[in-house]
Structure 1
């Protein structure tokens, strides 16, 4: 069963000469593959969920069904967290740019975007409070009342840590989408 949220479209890798190689640009797409840190963390959570599910089966066979139901619920929450971790990242379409985080999602229409640019600045290492010097892809909204947005992508997040080439390709892809759809 294919998991479309896990892999980016291979059309982006195959067509380096075309900035926007997608046929249906109305679909939300992640223009890069999730990084090994994100996939590894989700795999560890799914492994933990398998142990919790096994414990729930043992509890259901030997104990009360209400206890087993609670443990099944815990496993369902762990599985949902792992899937949400895999879904996190930046998604683009003809409608705008969407930044999917763990607690929520922020969508900005291309008409509201003033610029998308890569800057050198201190960035958070794997989302932790520690900051290191790196690159970040920033989205600047039009208008003065817009709150400052967190960086879309950084060189030290779970998708691009120690993968500078992948960050450059992803930043270029998001900038190409912005250049294509911000035209007035």
Structure 2
């Protein structure tokens, strides 16, 4: 079963005539692949889920179905968390820009976007409180001050740490979506 959220569309791998070589621009898509840090972390979380599921089977075999059900529920929550971790990121469509987090997804229609641009600024390293100097893809909205909006992508996030060319390509793709939909 193909998991479409794991890979970006292959259209960005080849040079195309249009900046947005998609058949269906109304479909939400992430214009970049998840990074190795994100995939590795999700793999570790799924490994923990497999231990929980195996434990649930062992507990069920010993005759404690209520406890086995609780451990099974924990294992399923861990699996859902790992899948949500893989879906995290910036998604674009003709309707707007969507930032998917672990628990919350926020969509900004293109009509509210003033600009999307790459800036040099202190960024969080792997989402931790420690900041380092790096690049960020900043979203400027009509209804908020720029400092109230967190960056969309950073060079030191789970997807782009140690991959500056991948960050540049993803930032260019999101900026192209913004330009295509009338917002520079």
The 1:143–1:58 alpha-carbon spacing in structure 2 relative to 1, beyond 3 Å, is: closer
TM-score by length of 2: 0.96
Question: Which residue of structure 2 lines up, in the alignment, with residue 128 of structure 1?
Answer: 128
CA separation in 2, counterparts of 1:61 and 1:47?
A: 21
Question: Which residue of structure 2 lines up, in the alignment, with residue 174 of structure 1?
Answer: 174
Contact 1:137 1:151 in 2 (8 A): yes
- 1:32 matched to 2:29? The reply is no
Gapped regions of structure 2 (runs ≥ 5): none
Question: How many angstroms does 1:12 deviate by?
Answer: 1.4
Q: SS at the partner of 1:39?
A: helix
Q: SS at the partner of 1:5?
A: helix
Q: Number of paired residues?
A: 184
Question: How many angstroms does 1:17 deviate by?
Answer: 4.4
RMSD: 1.6
CA separation in 2, counterparts of 1:155 and 1:145?
A: 22
Question: Which residue of structure 1 lines up, in the alignment, with residue 109 of structure 2?
Answer: 109
- 1:83 matched to 2:83? The reply is yes
TM-score by length of 1: 0.96
CA separation in 2, counterparts of 1:5 and 1:12?
A: 15
CA separation in 1, counterparts of 2:107 and 2:115?
A: 15
Contact 1:114 1:140 in 2 (8 A): yes
